[in-house]
Structure 1
Amino acid sequence: MATNANDLYIGLMSGTSADGIDLALVQFDQQGHHLHASYYQPYEPGLRQAIQRLYQPSDNELDRLGALDKQLATVFADTILAFLAQQGLSASDIKAIGNHGQTIRHRPEQPFAFSCQIGCSQTLAVLTQIPVIGRFREKDIALGGQGAPLVPAYHDAMFRNNASDVCIVNIGGIANVTFLPKQSPAVVGFDTGPGNALLDLWYSHNHPQSEQTIDKDATWACTGSVDVGLLSRMLDDAYFHKQYPKSTGREYFHGEWLERALRAFPLLSAADIQATLHALTAHSIANEVNKLSDKCEVIIVGGGAHNPLLMKMLSDLLPNSNVQTGSQYGIDNDSLEAVVFAWLAHAYLHNIPSNLPSVTGASRSTSLGCLFTP
């Protein structure tokens, strides 16, 4: 690969769905940055289950957290080294790794706010022999912010369109929206609520023997019908009525949250519940987009962009907007967040502000992250 080694970064992302690792190899130059290659490594079922068990308080979690922190770093390192070999590169060709890690708790509202990601950046730096920039959320929280979402600063640099309002909706385990108004330099960004998290959880619960962990193409959901009563009950949750800045995670929208909502609907079929969970994701996104703009370009990225039922629901709920996937704009839907963390690492090393106080609520803008050397 004919590239300048000083310009190459790796972005590493493991999302709230805890399905695997997304890597992006990104080159930065005076014209901007370019995605050279991307890679996805699914987690082994046992590792995924170990991550998900840490989403809620339980016995011996501190010991399990400490061990899993180092185990994940080892998995991250093995994946990165295999990726470099695939690309014909060595560790010395990479300036830095931007490591988001795996979020297991996100508590921005409590008196001593925190956000906890595992996948030890120091261990990763030593095992790969590449500098690592990690712990991106901590400084924003120290400055009074939510520490999330982090992607709007990148969205602003990439997608602003002075001719129309733009909403970028990332549907991972949790869904978030970035709003770029056409007549203002302001940026709004926040988590809208569950994306794929409850869909995947309910599918796995009802298909324990299935080799796949997701309702691919919403095939099962399409056999059910949306129950308006259950949908209304779930949308009554206080989170959907909070004003931004706001952020959430799997530790809020989890199995017990769903069980509480289902208690008043014991006769619903499992497929009807799955269809209604799709509607929950779509309505919670569309409700927020409609508040932000009555007509805009809506760009869907993340795993949810591959879900035809979600896409149809969003198009129906946003009739005045142009709803398309990122791929229709030449964007790699699946690697975008990994690209963002390569960009955040680059921003750290060049002292470029990478948070947006209007999004997170922090008292000032700053360059996020901490450096870990081999």
Structure 2
Amino acid sequence: MYYIGLMSGSSADAIDTAIVEFNKKATLKFYREYPIDNKLKNQIQLINQKSLADFAALDNQLGHKFADAVNEILKEANIDPNQIIAIGTHGQTVLHSPDAKNGTSIQISDPNVICAKTGITTVSDFRRMDMAFGGQGAPLASAFHEYQFKNDDKSIVILNIGGFANLTLLPSNKSEIIGFDTGPGNTMLDAWIKKNKNYEYDKDGLWAASGKTNSELLKQLLTDSYFSSKIPKSTGREYFNLNWLDANLKKLNKKISNEDIQATLMELSATTIADAVMKYASKFSEVIICGGGVKNASLIKTIEKLLKDFKITTTSDYGLSPDCIEAVTFAWLAKTRMENQPSNIPTVTGATQKAILGGIYSPIKTN
């Protein structure tokens, strides 16, 4: 029997879809990334400028899109839907604002539609129960990182680089596990190249590599209070975006080439990651990287240079592709919900207590 995990990150470029078996550890049985077309991607990225009716329509549309991903992967893998215990769907984040007066986090892709269209129990809305107990609702992957990667013989850092970068610190002893967003991962790089070259992303970081880091701009960006703020903390596109970059460029008031800005944004991601590792995990021995950022060769090379005293590996060295980790995480979160087990880590999210995360949507079984 299996679980399915569904994830679309801040780049909104694909639905990561994983079929997972759980014994003592997660085993990936099948994985696909189903592309989100540019028209739908633009709707997602502009939804905060649209009406409530548009919001509801997009929620429904994404529900169908996510359900189609499930049905397609089952067909490709030749697995009967009755072999799936539950689907865990993260959905598509359209708002993550944990520090606002009425903080919340909203993900869309209607789970009612997913359940109805697949005939499979669907678990969703994982973040807000943690937030109801005072947490950030993020990062949630830390609990899965503990389940899958914790090693009693060595202290390791799991570094996930998606649109944003986050760390999970897994000490070998019984010390507290902590995790948090370090800041931008790929999001600013993607946004800047989209604006200037109309590319969806900087392949292999080649455009960034063609420029030179502007030390004055880097220094200006690093003055942002988020980077020095206390943990637990998490962030999103509501904070780090082109408006944020433009405001910093205006403060600097200096002519900088577009490729040098891209190089500086890459250095910002690498520097804030490395600074966080050195601040909280200087005595750890290994950094294990996952997420789409693994494909940015220039970014990884820069991180390796900054963290030269650490062994740098990827989750591939431990049996799971870096691309699939977040989808597998939500399969695992569905499993914990179906077993009525808590799946947040209060020292990571800041919640006042452990909590059972996710709402369950169940079909009527006819056989």
Place the TM-score, normalised by the shorter chain, in its bin.
Answer: over 0.9
In structure 1, what is the Cα distance between the partners aligned to 2:150 and 2:253? 44
Query: Residue in 1 aligned with 2:248?
Result: 261
1:322, distance to aligned residue in structure 2 (A):
1.2
Q: Does 1:225 align with 2:212?
A: yes
**Partner amino acid for 2:232?**
P
Q: Does 1:117 align with 2:107?
A: yes
In structure 1, what is the Cα distance between the partners aligned to 2:253 and 2:33? 38
1:353, distance to aligned residue in structure 2 (A):
1.6
Q: Does 1:36 align with 2:29?
A: yes
Once the two structures are superposed, the pairs formed by residues 283-362 of structure 1 within 5 Å of their partners are: 283-295=271-283, 296-362=285-351
Please list every run of 5 or more consecutive structure 1 residues that lacks an aligned counterpart in the other structure.
1-6
**Partner amino acid for 2:107?**
Q
Q: Which of residues 12, 23, 28 is equivalent to 2:6? A: 12
In 2 relative to 1, CA 137–8 (structure 1 residues): closer, same or farther, beyond 3 Å?
same
Q: Which of residues 107, 128, 131 is equivalent to 2:97? A: 107
Name the SS for the 1:191 alignment partner.
strand
In 2 relative to 1, CA 33–331 (structure 1 residues): closer, same or farther, beyond 3 Å?
closer
Query: Residue in 2 aligned with 1:246?
Result: 233
Query: Residue in 1 aligned with 2:72?
Result: 82
Q: Does 1:26 align with 2:13?
A: no
Does the 8 Å contact 1:192/1:288 carry over to 2? yes
Query: Residue in 1 aligned with 2:356?
Result: 367
**1:277-324 CA distance string (max 9 Å, x none):** 100100111110001122421011001111111111111111221122
1:183, distance to aligned residue in structure 2 (A):
2.8
**1:213-234 CA distance string (max 9 Å, x none):** 1111111111100011111111
In structure 2, what is the Cα distance between the partners aligned to 1:366 and 1:294? 30
Query: Residue in 2 aligned with 1:3?
Result: none
In structure 2, what is the Cα distance between the partners aligned to 1:255 and 1:36? 39
Query: Residue in 2 aligned with 1:50?
Result: 43
Once the two structures are superposed, the pairs formed by residues 266-281 of structure 1 within 5 Å of their partners are: 266-281=254-269
**Partner amino acid for 1:118?**
I
Does the 8 Å contact 2:214/2:264 carry over to 1? yes
1:266, distance to aligned residue in structure 2 (A):
4.2
1:326, distance to aligned residue in structure 2 (A):
2.0
* Worse-superposed segment, 77-86 or 319-328: 319-328
1:265, distance to aligned residue in structure 2 (A):
4.5
Aligned residues: 361
Does the 8 Å contact 1:24/1:338 carry over to 2? yes
**Partner amino acid for 1:119?**
S
Name the SS for the 2:151 alignment partner.
coil
Q: Which of residues 145, 160, 163 is equivalent to 1:170? A: 160
1:207, distance to aligned residue in structure 2 (A):
1.2
Query: Residue in 1 aligned with 2:144?
Result: 154
**Partner amino acid for 2:204?**
D
TM-score, normalised relative to structure 2: 0.95
In structure 2, what is the Cα distance between the partners aligned to 1:42 and 1:248? 25
Q: Which of residues 72, 76, 82 is equivalent to 1:92? A: 82
In structure 2, what is the Cα distance between the partners aligned to 1:191 and 1:169? 10
Q: Which of residues 184, 189, 201 is equivalent to 1:214? A: 201
In structure 2, what is the Cα distance between the partners aligned to 1:135 and 1:282? 31
TM-score, normalised relative to structure 1: 0.94
**1:147-175 CA distance string (max 9 Å, x none):** 11101111111212233221101000011
Does the 8 Å contact 1:104/1:251 carry over to 2? no
1:91, distance to aligned residue in structure 2 (A):
2.2
Identity of aligned residues (%): 43
Does the 8 Å contact 1:11/1:97 carry over to 2? yes
Please list every run of 5 or more consecutive structure 2 residues that lacks an aligned counterpart in the other structure.
none
1:78, distance to aligned residue in structure 2 (A):
1.1
1:110, distance to aligned residue in structure 2 (A):
1.6
